[in-house]
Amino acid sequence: MRLTFLTLLTAMISLTLRAQDRPLTLRLETDVVTIDITATDQNGNYVRDLRPEEILLYEDGRQRQFDLFTLTNQSSLSRPLAVVFALDLSGSLKPEETVTLRESALKFIELVRGESVFAAMTFNHEVKVRQDFTRDARRLIQAFTSNVRFEGSTRIYDAIDRGVTLLEKKAPRFIGNREVRRAMIVISDGFDSASVIDRREMVRRALAAGVTIYSITLPSYILTATRRGERVLTPLDATRIVSATGGSDFAADAGDFSPVFKALAEEIRSSYAVAFYPLTRDGKFHRLEAKVSRPGVRARLSRQGYQSPSP
C-alpha cells in the first residue's frame, strides 16, 4: 500500500506547484487528506490563476500549511471522479423529459470522464441502486430507462445517505495512482416527505466520507416556487446539505438540461486540489476553512473538515 502511495505522490509532484516556494517534505503514509477548493470572484466567475501562497488554509481556526497544490484547468481534472447520479422518480419529472435529461447527463460524462467512474440510483418511496460504478455510458442509459415508474413519495435524504455509502464502500479510492474525488448529483424538486435518516446525521456521514453533493432543481419546482422571477430556496438549500458538503445547486430548464450539466462540469473542473497530512492522530473531526488573500475572491471547500486517523 505504501509503495502504491509513493507512486501517487510521484505522479502528483510532477503537476505540483510548490506552496510558498518551500521544499516539499513528504512522508510515506496513506492518511493524506485531499480537498478541492473552488475560487470565484464577486460576479461568480471561476478564478483559475491563483498561486499557492494566495490560498490560506485553516484547521480548527488556526492557519496551517499544505503539502501539495494542483491546479485544474478547463481541459483536465486534477484527479478522477467517482460520481453517483440520483434521480427523483416521485412524479416531479415527466417521463418524456428523461430523454433530455439522459442525453445531457451523458454529455456531462464525456466532459469529465477521463478515468472517472459513475453509478446510477433512483428514489421515490424506495431507494434503488440501478447501476454500480462503471465507465460504460451504455449501462447508465439502461439504468435510467429500464422499468422506470414515476410515483410515490420522496426519500431524498435516505437516497443521499445510500449514495454516500455506495461511494464509501464500492467506489475505488485510487484510479491510475491518483486519489478519487467523490461526488453525488441529486436531480430532484428538493422536497423530502418520507426519509427515515436524520438530516444532520446524513450530512455528518457525507463529510466524514469526503462526498460533495450537487443538486439539480427540476423545472416543476422552479415553476411553482418562484418569486419575482427568481427561484426561492429549495429545502435542500435551506437545510444547507449542498453548501455544507461544498457543492452547488443548479436550476434546470426542462427544454434543455445541457447548460446545467455543462455548468456542473465546469464547476468540478475549475478547482484546486490541496493535500496535507493530519497534524494529529486523535480520531476526532477537524474543521477546515479556506480564504483567498486576493481581494474580491472567495473560496469554497469540497468538505468542511476531515476525520483524523485514530492513535
- Taking each continuous run of H as one helix and of E as one strand, the counts in the chain are 9, 18
Range list of β-strands (E), the chain:
33-40, 55-59, 62-64, 68-71, 81-88, 117-123, 127-134, 174-175, 178-179, 181-188, 211-217, 226-227, 230-231, 249-251, 271-276, 285-292, 298-301, 305-307
3-state SS of the chain: helix, strand, coil percent to 5? 30, 30, 40
Dist. CA 301–CA 35, nearest whole Å: 7
Q: Which three cell numbers stand for residue 52?
A: 499557492
pLDDT in tens, the chain (311 residues): 333 433 433 334 333 333 333 333 333 345 788 889 999 999 989 998 999 999 999 999 999 999 888 875 555 666 889 999 998 888 666 666 677 777 788 888 888 877 899 999 999 889 999 999 999 888 887 887 777 676 778 899 999 999 999 999 999 988 877 889 999 999 887 678 888 998 889 988 998 888 999 988 876 655 555 555 555 666 676 678 888 888 888 877 766 788 888 888 888 888 888 999 999 999 899 999 999 999 999 999 988 888 888 88
Q: Which three cell numbers stand for residue 275?
A: 493535500
Quote the pTM value. Answer: 0.80
Domains of the chain with CATH codes: 36-62+281-311 (no CATH), 81-269 (3.40.50.410)
Looking at residue 83, its amino acid is V
